[in-house]
Amino acid sequence: MRRRVPRKTSLLLVRLVVGATFAVHAGIIMPAPDSPTETIVLDEGRMSLYVVPLLSYEDVFGARSVAVETEVIKKEEDKKAPVSPKKEPEKPKPKITLPIVAASLNLAASAASSVATEETPPAEVVPPAPSPAEALPTDVNGPDFALSAFSHFGAPVDEGQALSFSVVIENKGKRAEEKIISQLFLDRDNNGTRDIAFSAQEISPLGKGETEMLLWKNAWTLLPGTHHVEVCADVGNHAVEADEGNNCLSLVLSVGSKMDNADLFVSSVVYTPTDPKDGVAVTFRAEVGNQGKETATTQQASLYIDGSATGKKSMSLIPVGEKKMVEWITIWKAVTGNHTYEVCADSGNRIQEPNEENNCTKGQFSVTP
């Protein structure tokens, strides 16, 4: 419904803050044309006000915000005499162009309020779907490198031990391949990420049915936790094989903390004869105990006379809380004088223990002429 304007002159001071540029036309808010001209266009019997923004910016949604202020004096006759129809074409109605006065508008109209307060909800972020993995080309008449017998050796699976790895690679295909690369990888904490890539090894051409063993000696010093170790042939997929699904093998290592490991100590050392004479062969016996939290794995005990290594003995498993005897029979021929002896459990440091300072026991003895 069009609102009638009184005949007398009225002063309207309005303030408007909106998210886009608008035109006020006969009481209706409409989008204004994007024009740099700042004008008020007066038409016969009505007025159109186009407000060009004084201050504007674009937000993240692309809308322009505007703040302008104007003071408009509007005059309009209350009633107009009806215009009788004419046969001649109606002449264009004169238009008057006036400069606009920029200011700050605040329009209390409900339509403007709804436009000003309405917000565009943020777009939902949806991760893109993963692209399918591309299948590697195969050749039924090509080589086929398969791995087997993947294992570790050289030390017990304990914290602080340097572990070695080995694997056997075989060409099960129909032809040889000039050159391929094999490599060992470590996923610490078994979380799906390759953290360490050990030295790559170039494999000599393998004919059909030929095999080769690969070694990585003292590859990694163990840390506590669960770890995933993987070895792969043809790293980089340089060879087009008959089967690309058998190029890797893996194993999982569960490494305990040394604080929960075995703890070896030497409880006693005896030698016979107790009063050795010059030239007599002397025997030493020692008792080795385990006061830790795990069974002690196979290790060796060593005897030192006057600081020199005299003999080494391998010792089998020692359960928690138990002791075992180790002896060196007629190992040393007595020499007149004063001497020292020392017996050390785990002399090769195969077991990472909570306490490494209690593995040895020392003593003195004399040999008479």
Which of 300 and 46 is assigned the larger pLDDT? 300
Which tens digit of pLDDT belongs to each residue from 73-123?
A: 344 444 444 545 555 555 554 444 444 333 333 433 343 444 333 443 333
pLDDT band at 337 (very low <50, low <70, confident <90, very high): very high
Q: What pLDDT was estimated at residue 172?
A: 94
Is the same domain home to 286 and 357? yes
CATH of the domain at 202: 2.60.40.10
Mean pLDDT of 296-324: 95
Given 256, 282, 308, the domain boundary residue is: 256
Residue 156 lies in a domain: yes
Given 227, 256, 285, the domain boundary residue is: 256
Given 219, 238, 256, the domain boundary residue is: 256
* pLDDT at position 359 over 60: yes
Is the same domain home to 106 and 166? no
Helix H segments across the chain? 110-117
Residue 160 lies in a domain: yes
Is the same domain home to 231 and 280? no
Total domains present in the chain: 3
Which tens digit of pLDDT belongs to each residue from 340-349?
A: 999 999 999 8
Is the same domain home to 223 and 291? no
Q: Which DSSP category does 320 fall into?
A: T
Instruction: Using alpha carbons, list the distances in angstroms from residue 136 to 133, 139, 182, 240, 247.
Output: 9, 10, 18, 8, 12
Which tens digit of pLDDT belongs to each residue from 210-266?
A: 999 999 999 999 999 999 999 999 998 889 999 999 999 999 999 989 999 999 999
Domain of 166 in residue numbering reads as 145-256
CA distance 155 to 222: 10
Q: What pLDDT was estimated at residue 88?
A: 54
Is the same domain home to 240 and 280? no
Residue 157 lies in a domain: yes
Most confident of 66-75, 131-140, 160-169, 173-182: 160-169
Is residue 80 exposed (0-12), middle (13-18) or buried (19+ Cβ within 10 Å)? exposed
This prediction's pTM: 0.51
